[in-house]
A and B are shown apart, each in its own frame.
Chain A
């Protein structure tokens, strides 16, 4: 074997006589007694093994060696005589492997990490690993022993919640309660949302409590289609699913801060923002296998989140911004797409389209080149559209949910850089040649939001607290293809927009300290009918989310799990609203951390089928209404019977107590100097009769 060959050379004892020859005459008279044998440098951390190289004839031996040297010298400086590429004289071919010795251990490490799996030519995918790993390989038994197949465990159906007969949605709560012993008891509860009623508990970690464990001590997160509930722990993350939330997977990664599932939930990326090679890890969800690890990008150390990877809509690609390029990795191999990054001169930020493998990025002005926004199709790398912009301070990319439109909010400055104004560049991505419309606004932009699956967007302009909310449609004008203003709501304090996932209904909210006394004001607005449904308030709320069906919205005042509360604990808790703005549930907890609706997978119905459902809504409604009525009645009956039972028990107790005192009535009377308040004779009944004339009617006969 190759490793044998290499190591044996050094394992030989150095010949002492030979050493003597090298010594100068005046050095110890040739006496070796005081001579210390030089330490052999056995540090092999600078060496890597390259295998799976092509086996070539002697004529090509040198040429291949040159290629290997060229490839590896890109990783760092190779030591003199650092390349060993053995040739087997008996077969007349090279042995198909080589050793590369770098000057510096880091370079060796980098080479092993980067070049492992490198496609040298069409049929040769080279393998590179640190020399130290060979020891492990040598200890492998010669005979292959197939591992015991693990007994088959049927997977629980992680989508069972979708089959709920009443089509309820779920949400998860995180809070903690002080235990009498003084410690905080962490609670994580998955709740069923009930129609305009108090939610009911689905699973609250009972199994873990029984085993004396806490289900979740940090944060919780649903996967994008709601299949898994992710719990964050110090050693890593765990996924839970199925009717009783059984454990579905475990991904060991210390102190994970950010978890990004691919939109299809096949892969998951975890990140802990720490130093080292494994700050970011990409996993396969079903097998729990690590696909590849990355260090944090060094170019953007300042903003950690920006150096994260972003998933394409179908989960086939993972991209990260680098310096003047965007690196796109293909899944599941996690290799760089076409072996090279997408060139993007001066890229500042990019976003994938939520539906297609298209990404948009923008780059600020550089030297004499203008700033530009570019829309690129992947994997063809065809630039669908590029737009140059001048006097740009910052850009924000907002894709519409369906990927039909891309709005680029451009913050521009005047020539003196003293005044700022905004441009909205709206790309119609699906139309041929991608036409762009531009809208200019002088005021400050507080919020922008596309209508989910719609052609409208809402824009909040102005200064707090007198803002104006404007709705626009992309399908205005005669040809239904122009940008058109629909209406404007003047003088509103709202600085946040939350569209219902079904569109049309918009929840406007004033949040944060800068809105002052308006903090927590809400308005439910029907865009189609241009009418306010309800103005209401959830004082100091800092989190708003619609349920995936658009029936309810939750508002919450929460605090971070790790730190203290933001303002006053008194306000912590959540409230539920119907989409008409009626509040129907309130929950308060001093230590309230999180509420999150469980997402649903995309609907399987085609738009024609959806229209049919809307048309026949009455029919479906009847069935559900009947169910609701029965459920309400049953609930009321149960509550009633419980109440009656409790009342009876209580009355029994009180009667017993009174009975005890009844026999001692005389003692009480004695204490009161012989006055018995129950003795009717102490009371004087004074009855008087009064007459009041209400009206007089005179009848003349």
Chain B
């Protein structure tokens, strides 16, 4: 195994995703231009030009034909993976933090930050792949308001598209019905200091779900990452580290997780070696 260094972004990388078949890698960065790469060789296939702000999140449809991007320019955009053509622009009220295709790719959800008077939103859009893209509805079919000033950091779909799982900046995780927007579950493990209770005592940086959509893996500034039952939101395992965790992934078939983290560049003064990727070998079991 030899690492391949992908050089293409000018600013900090925000998101790296594989497509379903694992032959393509999509990357997004704060430099506004997502890129597509061959997973095997590291050769860049192309870029997706159009955003006017940092790109925070990407989601690829299960058949790798369409890709969604969430950007700080208050829009989510749908792209044709093969040609790099911008298909649809979905305008939001504030910066879009996260975007996620539903199972089957017929719908997708976004979360956007609060901006001036408008609160943060969880939005669900219809995007059937048998409708020509210029006729797709650009208005959300469902909008859920977040409490005032509250931010959500990540949205994923639960098993069989039965619920939306949303990670909040206050360390809680909530699930919603994707059709009528009612709140279903609320994870209440641990407490934030003096504030509302949540899974983590500090911001949840990221959230990922496994292929079967049965397990959730969070990572948080409170130096831990937690494995949750995606159905009940019950905490199954806690992985403690010695630094804030910024990203975490589960092995698709084996019982391993990888956590990556370190201090924010902002809060680092001078340190010798502050970013270390720790492999928590066999940590799931």
A→B interface (CB under 8 Å): 178, 180-182, 520, 537, 539, 567-568, 570-571, 573, 588, 643, 646-647, 650-651, 653-654, 657-658, 660-661, 664, 667-668, 671-673
Q: Are B193 and A178 interface neighbours, CB within 8 A?
A: yes
A673 proximity list for chain B (CB < 8 A) = 104
State in angstroms the CA–CA spacing of A588 and B244 once bound together.
13
The smallest beta-carbon distance between A68 and chain B, in angstroms, is 69
Q: Does B194 contact A (CB under 8 A)?
A: yes
A178 proximity list for chain B (CB < 8 A) = 193, 201
Proximity bits, B159-201, A CB within 8 Å = 1, else 0: 1110000000000000000000000000000110110000001
Tell which of A568, A570, A650, A660 touches B285, judged by Cβ atoms closer than 8 Å.
A650
Nearest A residue (CB) for B272: A539
The smallest beta-carbon distance between B268 and chain A, in angstroms, is 8
Proximity bits, B209-238, A CB within 8 Å = 1, else 0: 000111100000000000001110000110
Proximity bits, B252-285, A CB within 8 Å = 1, else 0: 0001000000010000010111100000001011
Interface of chain B, main secondary structure: loop
Q: Are B194 and A570 interface neighbours, CB within 8 A?
A: no
With A646-B285, A650-B255, A660-B231 known as contacts, the answer to whether A668 contacts B103 (CB < 8 A) is yes
State in angstroms the CA–CA spacing of A182 and B202 once bound together.
12
Q: Are B236 and A650 interface neighbours, CB within 8 A?
A: yes
Tell which of B242, B274, B284 touches A650, judged by Cβ atoms closer than 8 Å.
B284
Nearest B residue (CB) for A650: B285
Q: Are A657 and B214 interface neighbours, CB within 8 A?
A: yes
B77 proximity list for chain A (CB < 8 A) = none
Interchain residue pairs with CB less than 8 A apart (14)? A180-B191, A182-B193, A539-B271, A539-B273, A567-B269, A570-B274, A573-B242, A647-B282, A647-B285, A650-B236, A657-B212, A661-B214, A671-B104, A671-B161
For the A-B complex with A657-B215, A671-B160 known, give 4 more contacts whose Cβ atoms are closer than 8 Å: A570-B263, A661-B214, A664-B160, A671-B102
B269 proximity list for chain A (CB < 8 A) = 567-568
The smallest beta-carbon distance between B117 and chain A, in angstroms, is 32
State in angstroms the CA–CA spacing of A643 and B255 once bound together.
13
The smallest beta-carbon distance between B254 and chain A, in angstroms, is 12
Q: Are A647 and B242 interface neighbours, CB within 8 A?
A: no
A182 proximity list for chain B (CB < 8 A) = 193-194
Q: Does B9 contact A (CB under 8 A)?
A: no
Q: Are A180 and B229 interface neighbours, CB within 8 A?
A: no
A667 proximity list for chain B (CB < 8 A) = 160
Q: Does B90 contact A (CB under 8 A)?
A: no
A668 proximity list for chain B (CB < 8 A) = 103, 160
Nearest B residue (CB) for A670: B104
A573 proximity list for chain B (CB < 8 A) = 242
Q: Are A654 and B215 interface neighbours, CB within 8 A?
A: yes
The smallest beta-carbon distance between B237 and chain A, in angstroms, is 7
Q: Are B271 and A570 interface neighbours, CB within 8 A?
A: yes
A658 proximity list for chain B (CB < 8 A) = 212, 214
B285 proximity list for chain A (CB < 8 A) = 643, 646-647, 650-651
A653 proximity list for chain B (CB < 8 A) = 229, 236
Q: Are B236 and A661 interface neighbours, CB within 8 A?
A: no
Nearest B residue (CB) for A570: B263
The smallest beta-carbon distance between B179 and chain A, in angstroms, is 14
Nearest A residue (CB) for B230: A657
Q: Are A588 and B236 interface neighbours, CB within 8 A?
A: no
State in angstroms the CA–CA spacing of A663 and B161 once bound together.
16
State in angstroms the CA–CA spacing of A664 and B212 once bound together.
12
Q: Does B18 contact A (CB under 8 A)?
A: no
The smallest beta-carbon distance between B1 and chain A, in angstroms, is 23
Q: Does B38 contact A (CB under 8 A)?
A: no
The smallest beta-carbon distance between A676 and chain B, in angstroms, is 12
The smallest beta-carbon distance between A125 and chain B, in angstroms, is 63
Q: Does B30 contact A (CB under 8 A)?
A: no
The smallest beta-carbon distance between B284 and chain A, in angstroms, is 6
Nearest A residue (CB) for B282: A643
Nearest B residue (CB) for A672: B104
The smallest beta-carbon distance between B246 and chain A, in angstroms, is 14
State in angstroms the CA–CA spacing of A588 and B223 once bound together.
11
B273 proximity list for chain A (CB < 8 A) = 539
Q: Are A657 and B231 interface neighbours, CB within 8 A?
A: yes
Q: Does B243 contact A (CB under 8 A)?
A: yes
B236 proximity list for chain A (CB < 8 A) = 650, 653
Nearest B residue (CB) for A571: B271
With A650-B255, A661-B159 known as contacts, the answer to whether A180 contacts B103 (CB < 8 A) is no
State in angstroms the CA–CA spacing of A350 and B160 once bound together.
82
A661 proximity list for chain B (CB < 8 A) = 159-160, 212-214
Q: Are A180 and B104 interface neighbours, CB within 8 A?
A: no
A657 proximity list for chain B (CB < 8 A) = 212, 214-215, 229-231
B272 proximity list for chain A (CB < 8 A) = 520, 537, 539
B103 proximity list for chain A (CB < 8 A) = 668, 671-672
A571 proximity list for chain B (CB < 8 A) = 271
A671 proximity list for chain B (CB < 8 A) = 102-104, 106, 160-161
Proximity bits, B138-165, A CB within 8 Å = 1, else 0: 0000000000000000000001110000
The smallest beta-carbon distance between A171 and chain B, in angstroms, is 20
State in angstroms the CA–CA spacing of A664 and B103 once bound together.
14
B104 proximity list for chain A (CB < 8 A) = 671-673
Q: Are B193 and A180 interface neighbours, CB within 8 A?
A: yes
